[in-house]
């Protein structure tokens, strides 16, 4: 078994099997997000740093990238900034939605017990939201790397991640982000077209792990 730090922000450690450890290594070399193909150097740097795009980076990505999503540059900038600025409440909504749908999931016998498993889940929600925001900025609905996504599916299976809860949580991210965009109005509301596709793509990828 291997003890690894799963979160760069807080020290979250988990004992992993040899197979899980190997899959994590493969995932590091072949990430879930299509690094280098979507959003250029700015998105690649943000992904590696586990960060949302800053205002200058948003401007750079939006101006340099023109994916198939039909949105103005101001709309893509607005929705990307909104996902960044309101990420904490969006993730909190997703957590609450998981707990409401799966009461006791963080208690002994539940899929998110012990607490380190729940923390890893919320960390993944944050990473998913970051990647969705990069895709929205670039105007690209499908943002995953096929090989990287397959490796992550293997890892989730090996670690017995509760996929029903993960799917519910990502739907919660989508719903909270959509509500935030409607509340903001203006360019952010119009720019939801650039974010809705990446959310639906992400949900489809995670649902595929359950088959």
The answer on pLDDT for 99 being more than 80 is: yes
Question: What is the chain's Cα-based Rg?
Answer: 17
Q: Please tell me the distance from the alpha carbon of residue 97 to that of residue 92, in angstroms, as a whole number.
A: 9
pTM above 0.75, yes or no: yes
Model confidence over 115-164: pLDDT tens digits? 999 999 999 999 999 999 999 999 999 999 999 999 999 999 999 999 99
Q: Please tell me the distance from the alpha carbon of residue 24 to that of residue 124, in angstroms, as a whole number.
A: 14
Give me the helices (H) in the chain, please: 18-29, 40-49, 55-64, 73-85, 87-101, 115-138, 146-158, 163-184, 186-190, 192-208
Residues 6 or more apart whose Cβ sits within 8 Å of residue 130: 46, 47, 50, 51, 52, 87
Per-residue pLDDT, 14: 59
Model confidence over 9-66: pLDDT tens digits? 233 445 788 999 999 999 999 999 998 899 999 999 999 999 999 999 999 999 999 8
The residue written with tokens 């493969």 in the block is 26
Per-residue pLDDT, 113: 94
Per-residue pLDDT, 102: 97
Per-residue pLDDT, 211: 76
Per-residue pLDDT, 159: 92
Per-residue pLDDT, 35: 87
B/e letters for 90-117, b = 16+ CB within 10 Å, e = fewer, are bbebbbebbbeebeebbeeebbbeeeeb
Model confidence over 153-201: pLDDT tens digits? 999 999 999 999 999 999 999 999 999 999 999 999 999 999 999 999 9
Per-residue pLDDT, 70: 82
Higher pLDDT, 208 or 4: 208
């Amino acid at each position: 078994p291997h003890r690894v730090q799963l979160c760069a922000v807080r020290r979250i450690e988990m004992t992993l099997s040899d197979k899980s450890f190997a899959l994590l290594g493969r995932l590091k070399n072949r990430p879930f997000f299509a690094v280098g193909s979507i959003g250029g150097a700015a998105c690649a740097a943000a992904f590696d740093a586990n960060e949302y795009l800053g205002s200058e980076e948003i401007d750079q990505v939006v101006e340099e990238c023109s994916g198939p999503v039909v949105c103005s540059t101001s709309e893509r900038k607005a929705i990307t900034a909104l996902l960044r600025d309101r990420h904490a409440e969006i993730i909190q909504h997703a957590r609450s939605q998981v707990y409401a749908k799966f009461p006791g999931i963080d208690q002994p016998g539940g899929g998110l017990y012990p607490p380190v498993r729940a923390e890893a889940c919320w960390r993944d929600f944050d990473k998913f939201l970051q990647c969705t925001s990069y895709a929205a900025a670039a105007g690209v609905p499908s943002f995953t790397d096929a090989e990287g996504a397959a490796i992550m599916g293997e890892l989730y299976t090996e670690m017995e991640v509760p996929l029903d809860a993960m799917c519910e949580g990502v739907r919660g991210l989508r719903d909270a982000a959509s509500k935030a965009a409607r509340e903001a109005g203006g360019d952010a509301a119009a720019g939801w077209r650039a974010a809705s596709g990446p959310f639906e793509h992400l949900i489809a990828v995670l649902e595929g792990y359950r088959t």
